[in-house]
Chain A
Amino acid sequence: MSVFIIRRLLQSIVVIWVMSLLVFGGVYLIGDPIDMLINPEADQEDIEAAIRALGLDKPIHEQYWYFLANALKGDLGKSFIFSEPALQLILARAPATMELAIVASLMSIMLGIPLGMWAGLKPDSIAGKSIMTGSILGFSLPSFWVGILFIMLFAVMLGVLPAGGRGPTTEFLGLQVSFLSAKGLSHILLPAVNLALFKLSLVIRLSRAGTQEVIHQDYIKFARAKGLSERRIILVHVLKNILIPVVTVIGLEFGSVIAFAVVTETVFAWPGMGKLIIESIDQLDRPVIVAYLMIIVFMFIVINLLVDILYSILDPRVRLQDIRA
């Protein structure tokens, strides 16, 4: 087990290094930040001075080595726009995004698994069909469109929820969170639902597919023959088995929830990392883009590792040797 983890960690370091190369190269190709940063009234001399001040006059490999050397010391560079360490900027925004992503993921699991199982157990009932049709709607429309519809309906026409922004924050386990107050909850509701819709549909579909497969398996028939209660069969045997794909997907998708928060945060003016990255891409604040992508890569590798370990616990048929291989 520990050999497996050590090997995975070593591989992860290589992955992170390769990513840093790709990210740096990709971001370098996009455009030249100086055109976004400089005041149009500046003349050629001012532009060159600014290029030197930001270290953009150096060749790319030199800039990369500089970045790598500093990154090893935990410094991912300084934002061009804010002149603050990029890492610090992103981490200051992280709680807002994490809060949104976790609330959205929880929503999709808590609603998605029961609904999906229901649809799987009673596929021909009206409820079952409605759930499936609803799940189709869930990922049919682009989230920015749904987001603005939500705002129009709940904030402008009904006036029951705020149109955007994050509510007042309170400290919870050392982090600033907003879901503990009624006002904070009212702010998080629309963006979280907006972000959860897609994952909810995915969870419903996976749970339903899993349920339908599992209930025809021999061991379920055997359990029934043994006289176990239907409730126990569903809650223990069916649930345990459909958890495998759902855990994989939600684990894998947590990174993408955070990435898709980019759109939700833009539409709902949610002050998280997603809004920061979109603004940074907009203004080509390279250090922030690179730092953000590196953090996402890092997070994703950790999630992957955890999912693989969980996998082996939930489904003993998949042995760690297989994954390690």
Chain B
Amino acid sequence: MKNIFTALVAGAALMAASGAVAQEIRIGIAQEPSSIDPHFHNLGPNNGFLSHIYERMVEQDSKQRLRPGLAVSWKPISETVWEFKLRKGVKWHDGSPFTADDVVFTAERAVNVPNSPSSFGTYLKGKTFTKIDDYTVHVSTPKPYPLMVTEMSTIMIISKKNAQGAQTKDFNLGPAAIGTGPYKFVKWQKGDVIEFARNDDYWGGRPKWSKVILKPISSAPTRVAALLAGDVDMIDGVPTADIETLKGNPKVKLSQGISNRVIYLHLDQKRDNSPFVTDKNGNPMDKNPLKDVRVRKAISKLINRPAIVEKVMEGIAIPAGQLVSETFFGNTPNLKPEAFDPAAAKKLLGEAGWGDGFGLTIHGPNNRYINDAKIAEAIAQMLTRGGIVTKVVTMPKNVYFKRASRGGPENSPEFSFILVGWGSGTGEASSPLKSLLTTYDKSKGHGASNRGRHSNPKMDALVVQALATVDDAKRKTLLQKATEVGIGEDQGIIPLHYQVNTWATRPGLRYDARTDERTLAMDIKVVK
């Protein structure tokens, strides 16, 4: 009897599979996740691709605005406690119901993953989770904490029943990889393929694709070729060099969207004898012109941002004047991208006593951001023409970032003038302000990525105040003010442009571009 039943089920599955071939979607991806364990590694591709399997209490939409996920509503019930009401009727992939126990379990487990190279403790530390009833959770913090909801949008919830005592490998092999998301985990062959199958009982309605196949193809031209050859239906990370031709190709449809990533320059504002600031002939100096705000402003004015966007980025970027673009929380309308103005720059340099110019070396990565090495070279061209003789040194990211952060004596930043990028994972301005512009202070966790060591107590105070203000409108004003001081007045960093990401699909499909650079099968639509 049991055998007959198994055979019937198998037969039905076969039929379903053959009928569903057309609903299969194959995606060529630039970067593979490092784990199926959602709490092992706080890394872009993991947070993106695992969203097929797991869900969070609060989700970010394609513009990184917050929307309900596994929680239907939330509110602060006191200065330090937030209440989250959970969605009812949600089932795990194994059929068991989702409750507050799972949330509390997740919060305990996510901070204690053995060997985690980048822990979610970043978002969870100092928070206490309490189950009130099956569908209510309270989260409390010692101090008022306005980023509570934003940070809840980073933690993927796992099933207590299936994941209790589970290790990372239990997720990678499948048994613990049970979520509530629209797709179920099928298999992961590292470097080769990741496969998801449709979750027919998904609370948000039956997902479109019966099967999602992710193919990691790290080389960009190969990825484009795979799409053109029909090996995959969609690719992410379309290189800017190919966009012009792909636009004219009837076999391809492009989707583009601004990302949360700003490309900018850090300038050494701490050392008097900065190692890569020299006189015009390359001799070391004991005076550092980058400490003078007029020089920093002049450098910003010497950079022709529209030219970089048009010529280096082939039109696929947007000139930037601050840390986050217009749709993001904390963007200030008062800061526009600095206009290209060599005459004004010359005047500023003259006023600062550097009318004869000086020498600089710009350091940058060559495999981290879109066209990073070329941007560095274009900037060197522009500054050299403006009298600041600039050399270019680029290196692979694995060598670059250590030296840029801690390559100098006593773990100080090694370089004087660097090209970097920042993607705001939380989707608002406090993250870059706190990491890039506040005074470097280990004990407070401030300025962790402040590689130019910019420091202005006035701005620090504004950021600290913003991070303790729960009221959204007030916090927004504080963040805008902090940005206006840090960039507008001080030119603590020089923003260049916001990256624009491009996806390409075969005709008949459309991808709704996301600012967080994620590639999600849920967002692929069929169009006529």
Give chain A's interface residues, CB within 8 Å of chain B.
Answer: 30-47, 49-50, 53-54, 78, 80-84, 89, 92-93, 96, 148, 151-152, 155-156, 159, 162-166, 266-269, 271-272, 275-276, 279, 281-284
Contact = CB atoms under 8 A, between A and B. Distances in A.
B225 interface: yes
Given A36-B401, A42-B448, 5 more contacts: A31-B399, A38-B118, A44-B448, A156-B229, A269-B223
B399 A53 contact: no
A155 B226 CA distance: 8
Contacts of A96: 192
A271 B229 contact: no
Contacts of B35: 82-83
B215 interface: yes
A287 B293 CA distance: 45
B218 A83 contact: no
Contact of A93 (B40, B190, B399, B442): B190
Given A39-B42, A39-B118, A268 B423 contact: no
A46 B119 contact: yes
Interface in B379-424: 396-399, 401-403, 405-406, 422-423
B397 A36 contact: yes
Contact of B396 (A267, A271, A282): A282
Contacts of A152: 225
Interface in B457-476: none
Contacts of B169: 83-84
A44 B431 contact: no
Interface of B: 32, 34-35, 40-43, 114-119, 121-122, 168-169, 172, 189-192, 215-219, 221-223, 225-226, 228-231, 367, 396-399, 401-403, 405-406, 422-423, 425-426, 431, 435, 442, 445-446, 448-449
Given A43-B445, A50-B116, A81-B34, A269 B215 contact: yes
Contact of A155 (B190, B225, B397): B225
A269 B219 contact: yes
A41 B426 contact: yes
A50 B122 CA distance: 11
Nearest to A281: B398
A316 B437 CA distance: 74
Contacts of A38: 42, 117-118
Given A53-B117, A93-B190, A276-B191, A39 B222 contact: no
B221 A165 contact: no
Contacts, number: 169
A78 B402 contact: no
Contacts of B218: 266, 269, 275, 279
Given A266-B218, A271-B190, A276-B191, A40 B398 contact: no
A164 B119 contact: no
B398 A283 contact: yes
A165 B217 contact: yes
Contacts of A78: 115
A115 B54 CA distance: 58
Contact of A156 (B42, B225, B403, B422): B225
A46 B222 contact: no
Contact of B398 (A36, A53, A276): A36
A165 B213 CA distance: 13
B26 to A, nearest CB: 10
A164 B121 contact: no
A53 B121 CA distance: 13
Given A269-B216, A271-B192, A44 B445 contact: yes
A40 B189 contact: no
A41 B425 contact: yes
B405 A35 contact: yes
Given A82-B34, A83-B168, A53 B191 contact: no
Contact of A282 (B367, B423, B426, B435): B367
A267 B225 CA distance: 11
Nearest to B223: A269
A139 B123 CA distance: 53
A157 to B, nearest CB: 9
A148 B228 CA distance: 13
A162 B229 contact: yes
Contacts of A47: 448
Given A148-B222, A162-B231, A276-B191, A37 B402 contact: no
A33 B223 CA distance: 27
What are the 10 A-B residue pairs with the smallest beta carbon separation, nearest first?
A43-B445, A37-B117, A271-B192, A271-B191, A35-B401, A32-B402, A155-B229, A39-B42, A163-B225, A269-B217
A152 B43 CA distance: 33
Given A81-B34, A148-B222, A276-B191, A44 B442 contact: yes
Chain A CB within 10 A, most for which of B172, B192, B406, B422: B192
Name, among A40, A166, A272, the residue most crowded by chain B CB atoms within 10 Å (CB to CB).
Answer: A40
